[in-house]
Amino acid sequence: MSWKASARHGVREAPGGFALVQELLNTRPAMSYAADLLNTVDDAQWWVTDTLGIWSHVSGLPAPTLLLSAADLRSMRRLRTAFEYVVLAGSNPEPDGSLLPPADVQVSLVPDGTGWVRVVPTGRGIRWLASALWAEALLAQQAGFWPRLKLCNNPACRAAFFDTSRNNSGVWHDVSTCGNTANLRAFRERRRLLGQEHQ
């Protein structure tokens, strides 16, 4: 069982239900080789049905069947952009937080049979999806996982990856592709500048 959008990028997946947030971020186009999964109703429907099935299995919570419309796609793309802002804010915080949109969603707090209180998404349609995503973000922050969800430093890529480096210093979703490309570009730029200095 794999999270389809993240698998396209070949990234390490976030643990448990937190991978739902990563999966939404990875619906963006995978550079030149894969489309935006939120561009057409058919692609988005395939993605959300598959993804919520995996999330339900991983989280142990039921997920509704979402039937998407064109208007839902706009809402989902806005939601994806909101999560990008929140992830980026963790690595480059704005002093006033003005870039961050409010997350106007509700959740239920439900005690289970073992005495633990669970955060359960509520609402209908895309509001339910937003509730599930923000709930997973909150749980990831409480568990200390949130700072490890990052967007690749390659502007042409921006794949969301879960950083497993010991000191949480990863910046590329894949060093051999995005990291080497950036290093080669920087090397060529340094050589070009040195050449200008010696003219």
Most confident of 29-43, 45-59, 146-160, 185-199: 45-59
Q: Which residue has the higher pLDDT, 50 or 89?
A: 50
CB contact at 8 A, 66 and 35: no
Most confident of 29-38, 104-113, 184-193: 104-113
Q: Is 33 exposed, middle or buried (0-12, 13-18, 19+ CB in 10 A)?
A: exposed
Comparing C-alpha atoms, which of 128, 144, 147, 132 is closest to residue 20?
Answer: 132
Comparing C-alpha atoms, which of 5, 26, 3, 11 is closest to residue 175?
Answer: 11
CATH of the domain at 128: 1.10.3300
Degrees to nearest 5, angle at CA 33 with 10 and 170: 35
- Please give the pLDDT value at position 34: 78
pLDDT digits (tens, 9 = 90+) for 34-69: 789 999 999 999 999 999 999 999 999 999 999 999
What six digits make up the tokens of 60? Answer: 């142990």
Domain holding 68, by residue range, is: 4-197
What six digits make up the tokens of 165? Answer: 């480096």
Q: Which residue has the higher pLDDT, 143 or 169?
A: 143
CB contact at 8 A, 179 and 166: no
- Please give the pLDDT value at position 169: 81
Backbone dihedral region for residue 86 (phi beyond 0: left; psi -120 to 50: alpha; all else: beta): alpha
pTM (2 d.p.):
0.84
Degrees to nearest 5, angle at CA 123 with 118 and 124: 135
* Helix or strand (DSSP H, E) at 73: helix 70-91
How many whole angstroms separate alpha carbon 162 and alpha carbon 170?
Answer: 9
Backbone angles phi, psi at 193, to 5 degrees: -65, -40
Domain count for the chain: 1
